[in-house]
Amino acid sequence: MFLLDMFSRVFTTRNVPSKNMMSKYTAWFQCIECGDKYALDEIVYVCDSCGGLLEVQHDMIKLKKSHGMEWKDLFDERYMRTTFPYGSGVWGKKEIVCPSVDDNNVVSMCEGGSNLFWAERLGREIGLSDLWIKQCGNSHTGSFKDLGMTVLVSMVNQMISDGKKIPAVACASTGDTSAALSAYCAAASIPAIVLLPQNMITTSQLIQPIANGAITLSIKTDFDGCMRLVREISAREQIYLANSMNSLRIEGQKTVGIELVQQFDWQVPDWIIIPGGNLGNVSALGKGFLEMKELGIIDRLPRLVVGQAEKANPLYLSYQKGFETFRPVKAGDTLASAIKIGDPVSRDRAIRVLQRFSGIVEQATENELANACARADRTGLFTCPHTGVALASLFKLVESGVISLSDRVVVISTAHGLKFPDTKVKYHEGRLKEMGIETPLKNEPIEVEPNFEDVKTAIWSELERRI
């Protein structure tokens, strides 16, 4: 009763939507190719009729009965408060995310609410006065994947509550998805299964699903091989699929864009740059912005940029040919291991979004992404390699004049740098030369004998060298 009382108080404060906000909203899966519709509690990932990807559609006619200002007031009223589940950065937007889940079936760890950091020093170094980093790695399991997983696991929890037989939830992962799935399933007492490419993720990433009790399979293949296997297992064994081809994930991840606009007092930046692997992230960003515009929350769209590692760049290659064709590639070894994906499942969604937003696809070499990370870290950040891809893309677009120095730019940092300590250690020890990576910003510890004069000499020698 306490939660119900708190819930009612949220809706009776001033400057929130009128009584039509209390009516039941609906959402459903819809094929992006032929338009066939499916209920959100159906176990379906692609269209039965044409094989097209599905997308969650909302009853926009009913949603638009409330003005954009009313939605902004409601979202601001809830933001980062303690009334469950609306303090979550995802569930605070429940009406336009997943209204089908009852509040008592929501599985939330207060995800979202990550800081929008003004990267003043880094921006100054490259000539931008309005550079921001959306630090999605400051989340429960250390990546933006939490935002999508709370929606997916909550929907599974609702389905189980309604009597559906779902023995487990499974994903293929390069690390971050498995961490999010295992944590949210553990909170909901739902078995989780993760398929990981052997020897291709960091120890920090591997230990997360293990610690959360997930059935963890180390497969002697790459991510694309794991993805093929998990799709087959899900289809043949009735295990629920949690990868981003399941568009429930997209609904949570789209709140990154909604939240960063909210943090700018509902002003839209000029550019948003995001690393791309399986490409659910850019699809989600685009969907969130398009829905905000349709609801009157914003009046314009940003430009979108996807950064890819040169060794896993099928979208970049397609962009170079005007998206006329798309061919999967064999992903090579890259420091940006979480986006080492040669056959992304969300490519069709991503291409549609980029075409709608006059989007750009850039790529980064291993040398460029490693040094972009090191450069950002020197300004107080602690970036993951995938954010390094986005930053390297930013540097190129500023240098070429595509991004103007007066533009407001947001880089989406997708994971916490602490998930990738091995990469940073190798950089600062100069052990990346076998990959052709120069490390001009390496910073090795100085070994010193335990006496005052040696310590003083080491300190002053280094200070003088850095002047």
What is the pLDDT, as a whole number, of residue 11? 36
Give the per-residue pLDDT at 147.
97
Among 243, 264, 274, CA closest to 353? 274
Using CA of residue 430, residue 387, residue 108, residue 251, what is the dihedral sign?
A: negative
pLDDT tens, 313-368?
999 999 999 999 999 999 999 999 889 999 998 899 999 999 999 999 999 999 99
pLDDT at 224: 87
Strand partners, 361: 306
Peptide bond into 275 cis (omega under 30): no
Written as one letter, the residue type at 440 is: P
The predicted pLDDT at position 233 comes to 92
Per-residue pLDDT of the chain (467 residues; tens, 9 = 90+): 333 344 333 333 334 444 344 448 999 999 999 999 999 999 999 999 999 989 999 999 999 999 999 999 999 999 999 999 999 999 999 999 999 999 999 999 999 999 999 999 999 999 999 999 999 999 999 999 999 999 999 999 999 999 999 999 999 988 889 999 999 999 999 999 999 999 888 888 889 999 999 999 999 999 889 999 999 999 899 899 998 789 999 999 999 999 999 999 999 999 999 999 989 999 999 999 999 999 999 999 999 999 999 999 999 999 999 999 999 999 999 999 889 999 998 899 999 999 999 999 999 999 999 999 999 999 999 999 999 999 999 999 999 999 999 999 999 999 999 999 999 999 999 999 888 899 999 999 999 999 999 999 999 999 999 88
In DSSP notation, 200-247 reads -S-HHHHHHHHHTT-EEEEESS-HHHHHHHHHHHHHHH-PEE-STTST
For residue range 170-201, list pLDDT tens digits in order. Answer: 999 888 899 999 999 999 999 999 999 998 88
pTM assigned to the model: 0.91
Cα–Cα distance between 447 and 457 in angstroms, integer?
A: 12
Nearest of 32, 37, 36 to residue 52 by alpha carbon: 32
How far is Cα 163 from Cα 47, in angstroms, rounded to an integer?
A: 24
Amino acid 244: pLDDT:
77
The single residue listed with the structure tokens 């300190």 is: 459
Is the Cβ–Cβ distance between 215 and 168 less than 8 Å?
A: yes
**Which pair of structure tokens corresponds to residue 55?**
């997308």
pLDDT of residue 345: 87
Q: How far is CA 184 from the centre of its chain?
A: 16
- Helix, strand, or coil (residue 27): strand
Measured between alpha carbons, how far is 313 from 340 in angstroms, rounded to an integer? 9
Q: Contacts by 186-190 with C-beta closer than 8 Å and gap 24+?
A: 186/212, 186/213, 186/214, 187/107, 187/109, 187/153, 188/107, 188/153, 188/156, 188/157, 190/153, 190/156, 190/157, 190/160, 190/166
Decide: 116 and 410 in contact? Cβ < 8 Å: yes
Q: Which of 246, 311, 258 is nearest to 56 (CA)?
A: 246
What does the block give as tokens for 51? 């094989």
pLDDT of residue 215: 97
DSSP string, 358-420: T-EEEEE-HHHHHHHHHHHHTTT--B-HHHHHHHHHHHHHHHTTSS-TTS-EEEEE-BBGGG-
pLDDT at 372: 98
